[in-house]
Structure 1
Amino acid sequence: MTPPIDHDAIFKELLSTFFLDFLKLFVPQVLEYAEPSEFSLEPTETVREVFSPIGQGKKKVADVVARLSFRDEEACFLIHLESQSSAYSQEDFRWRMFHYFARLHEKFRLPVYPIALFTFDEPFTEQENKYVVSFPDRQVLDFSFVSIQLNRLNWRDFLEYDNPVALALMAKMRMAPSERAQVKAECLRLLVTLKLDREKMAFIFGFIGTYLPLNEEEEEQFQQTLEHMDLGTKELVMEFVTDWQEKGREQGLQEGLQEGLKQGQIVKGQEDILRILEVRFEDIPPELRKLVSKINDLEVLGTLLTQAVTTQSLEAFTSAVSQHVSKETEEVENSEQSSGDD
């Protein structure tokens, strides 16, 4: 049975990996006063802690919260980039965006630049981007955010952009049913011309395959479109697609993408823990780094992240990590033993 698509995780990976490319594509004016070389993404657990009261008991993780510096100023600001894959009531979503803004501003005491990326297929109605509180005699609040609604954007308008986010998100933009094969072919044509490493190319290819799957008839149209490309580009596309197929990725495209996302979250969780410990204790023993790298359970990593903030000493934290490592090792051994008995 094919697992459900974790839209939040997929889009968070895209937006985190290509954050500056996203800004260049949709809000280039921000980069006129921000220093792009000096930005950092806030740790997932920190953001979850900030937003947890708003989630009403649900496991809420904002997609991306980044810290940037103003050019020629010793001051910072935050960008909150919220990806929305389902059609909430407009009033409810606008309310949430304002409260996310308020919570971030309260937590960090920094200006916050809010952006909403609407990724759902329907409705096509333009989403409002303001939350207003007013009385008969005065307006108390007029909050607005940048709104980017993919199903109202035409994919053809992004063909000339040399931008990985553009070609990935083209798979979610407005297109006629008869254009699906052409859109996928154009995405791959653009992909092989970008100077990306193999891992990033594979992720974008997986993203496109997840959100723009083709039926048999469309696959034939896709192959025909490739035939009309210039020889050099066609060879690059076919080489990449063939390499993907040879590694068995195309058949399990969605599963492979999900596994890659999970592994990325694990590595990021480990890095967040070590980063907090470095801030608090400066020198982290190699033995402790090795122990943390052995933790592959996301829930355990979340627990350890909290402990990294509150622990009184590295010794106490090392002891806690050792217990989790021992428990994970024991569970793996028991699982392998059970498999052997079967």
Structure 2
Amino acid sequence: MFIPALLDALHGLVPSARNLFDWTDAEGRLLDYYVEGPIDTEVGRRYFEHFHNGREAACMPAFAMLRDAPAGVRSADDLDREDFFASELYNEIWRPQGFHTRIEGVVRSRTGKLLGSLVLYRGPGEPRFTSHEERTLSALLPWIAKALEPNSASRDEVRSALHVPGPEPTETLLLDLKGRLWLASPGASRLIMLAEGGISPEALTRPVGDRIDRLFGRMISQARERADGPSGTSRPWPSLSIFSAYGRFDAESMLLWAPSGESGSRPPLLQITLRRLEPREVAVQRVLRSLPVTPGQAAVCAALYAGESQGDIARTMGVATSTVVDHVRKLYRALDVSGLPELRDLLDRRLTGATR
């Protein structure tokens, strides 16, 4: 969950249209990637078939060159050239996705091991990245590297965390009872890949039917049994939760039947809705970034919402209790609330509204 939350938070520090992170091995080979916004699988497949460590080298360093790149920022100036804008890579891969210019952070551990690449994109007509914005990103890279190092959080801890719906809309799939996909909402493919474990060259080339069978095979089998069984049953429709590095994914199903009285018998179709959920702490930080409060007030607000006392907050922050009291007073004034109950209610409403 760290990378999706990081890419979202970066918009408040360095404005961009969309952000991307590539996980690599130490030799610069791409393992997985996460990109904000819609995914055009055809463009993705075209990139990996023709450009990745291939034709892209005609206009920019090949991806594999990351293995020799030092930690730091690759400037937007490197690609802001007429020959790049005239290249096949730009016109066949970048432009269809709304990309025009970028800055890239090469992320390495304290020992120099390559961890990945962080890319911030802006679209046509948007301002160029400035040297100040490049320095801002550069200052963040050591902290990003530290956060990417393995931690002690167990899978059980991740599963037991309280989750709330993420900012993406619920996606819908329409299948026949053999599991064949008929129709899908625009973002369904992206959520399926994230639920399965991430976006990668392999995931982009894997048939969508294989992914559906792997994730929803049992649900489809249960739907077939339901369709063949007696009508009028009050049993709940099959549902499931899937956990991956990108959060919890809740899937719910329902059989859709042809209207009664229609001539001819049509088999039912299976509707599956899929929604991504994220830990509530991540969602709270997103809400706080949208409020008119300072970083210090936001930290105090998050702690109050989590149930900490003002004395505990002062000890955690290493400041005097009077400093926390002052933050709380200014926080209540900025948000026009009279106390903690109203503050909790405001955040709860924003958490719900942020998903709509």
TM-score normalised per structure 1: 0.29
Q: Which has the larger radius of gyration?
A: 2
Q: Using CA pairs below 8 Å that are at least 6 residues apart, which structure has the higher relative contact order?
A: 2
TM-score normalised per structure 2: 0.29
Kindly indicate which of the two structures has a greater share of residues assigned to helix: 1
Kindly indicate which of the two structures has a greater share of residues assigned to strand: 2
